Amino acid sequence: MLSFVYTALPMRVIFGSGTLVHMNRELAALKCHRALVLCTPGQQHQAQAIADQLGASCAGIFASAEMRTPVEVTHRALEKVTSVDADAVVSVGGGSTIGLSKAIALRTGLPQIVVPTTYAGSEVTPILGETVGGRKSTIRDHKVLPKVVLYDVDLTLTLPISLSLTSGINAIAHAAEALYAIDANPVVSAIAEAGIASLSRALPRIREMPTDRDARTDALLGAWTCGICLGSVAMALHHKLCHTLGGAFNLPHSQTHTALLPYTLAYNAVAAPDASRRIALALGVEDASRGVFDLLGRLGGLRALKDIGMPRGGIQLASELAVSSPYPNPAFVTREGVRCLLERAWDGQPPEENKTR
């Protein structure tokens, strides 16, 4: 008999083209009048455009968001929140900026309006990842869930191809793990398949024509649905390894997800056959792990950890960290199994089932 638990996440989503025109209305609906706009140093022009639109309702701009949300950056942002007497935060950007927004919300209770410009998906999750002393940890807390998400396809038209591809594969990883999560359910699984299919269709078209509005719409819709998956069920080995490598070796977030995904899928293939079948079906291939690996090849994406700065000498440390506090995972997580996985991922070899588990 089928039995499961599904918890819907409360938030308002506005999706389309030109949706930024609703920003002032949404801020007023939250009964807020002094929003601090957040961004990374490279997205100040987009933050300034939002600040100009908000007019008197903008309390200022904090343009120092960083990858993996270092707590020291959060502390500086909190000082800015206090100094300008902000009653809301508006974040524009990808996972780095959204992470900072969530960190502020966790500590202050301020409502968030998020404007994603990548396919990260973290904007629709109650998950916050923070880095302290080179170690990244994550929490789930509805305090960090944004109140409003404004998806504006127009803002993704100029997203660089390389970031579009890695961000898109990052999103696919969220959905793929949701299919074999310890608390998987039919609702999220259906959403996961749709998200994987949407992104796998869109990314090759974006590679050929970055300004293809239909492809960009398909990708952004896929990113949203994959983000729903990430926020609704537990993470497994893939995300554990990404958090471990990112925190320990300062690797770029979406590129790490991209390089690892074929290998983590292969690691779990035998232990989660139905999930593997559904992932392959969504990708339109026979084998899930090889399908992602081949898709990366067609897209021209990086397929080796060594190409994004992972030191070969760090494989043993990463293996030990991964098994010290593992996430629930279909296949039993062993130090030797993870080491073999990372050996292949470091060199960019085709994925294969790990025999050492």
Q: What is the CATH number of domain 12-156?
A: 3.40.50.1970
List strand residue ranges (DSSP E) for the chain, in order.
Answer: 12-16, 35-38, 58-62, 88-93, 112-116, 127-132, 135-140, 148-152
Backbone torsions φ then ψ of 349, nearest 5 degrees: -75, 155
* For residue 242, pLDDT beyond 70: yes
In whole angstroms, what separates CA 278 from the centre of its chain?
21
The pLDDT of residue 340 is 95
323 neighbors 334 (Cβ within 8 angstroms): yes
Q: For the whole model, what pTM was predicted? A: 0.93
List the domain boundaries for the chain: 12-156, 161-347
The percent of the chain in helix, strand and coil, each rounded to the nearest 5, is 60, 10, 30
The sign of the dihedral angle between the CA atoms of 334, 335, 336, 340 is: positive
The pLDDT of residue 270 is 95
Residue type, 106: L
In whole angstroms, what separates CA 59 from the centre of its chain?
28
Residue type, 355: K
* Dihedral in degrees, nearest 10, Cα atoms 310, 311, 317, 321: -10
Segment 340-344 mean pLDDT: 96
Distance, CA of 141 to CA of 125 (rounded, Å)? 9
The sign of the dihedral angle between the CA atoms of 176, 182, 186, 187 is: negative
* pLDDT 10s digits, 291-323: 999 999 999 988 899 999 999 999 999 999 989
Q: What is the mean pLDDT of the chain?
A: 94
The pLDDT of residue 355 is 59
* pLDDT 10s digits, 253-269: 899 999 999 999 999 99
* pLDDT 10s digits, 166-186: 999 999 999 999 999 999 999
190 neighbors 163 (Cβ within 8 angstroms): no
Burial of residue 142 (CB within 10 Å: 0-12, 13-18, 19+) is: exposed
Collapse the DSSP code of 134 into the 3-class scheme (helix H, G, I; strand E, B; otherwise coil) and give the result.
coil
* pLDDT 10s digits, 72-112: 999 999 999 999 999 999 999 999 999 999 999 999 999 99
The pLDDT of residue 354 is 62
Q: Which CATH class is domain 161-347?
A: mainly alpha
The pLDDT of residue 120 is 87
**CA angle in degrees (0–180, nearest 5) for 329-9-233:** 5
- pLDDT greater at residue 39 or residue 324: 39
* pLDDT 10s digits, 100-155: 999 999 999 999 999 999 998 999 999 998 988 777 788 999 999 999 999 999 99
Specify the range with the lowest mean pLDDT, choosing from 91-105, 215-229, 233-247.
Answer: 233-247
Distance, CA of 114 to CA of 119 (rounded, Å)? 13
The pLDDT of residue 4 is 85
Distance, CA of 251 to CA of 235 (rounded, Å)? 19
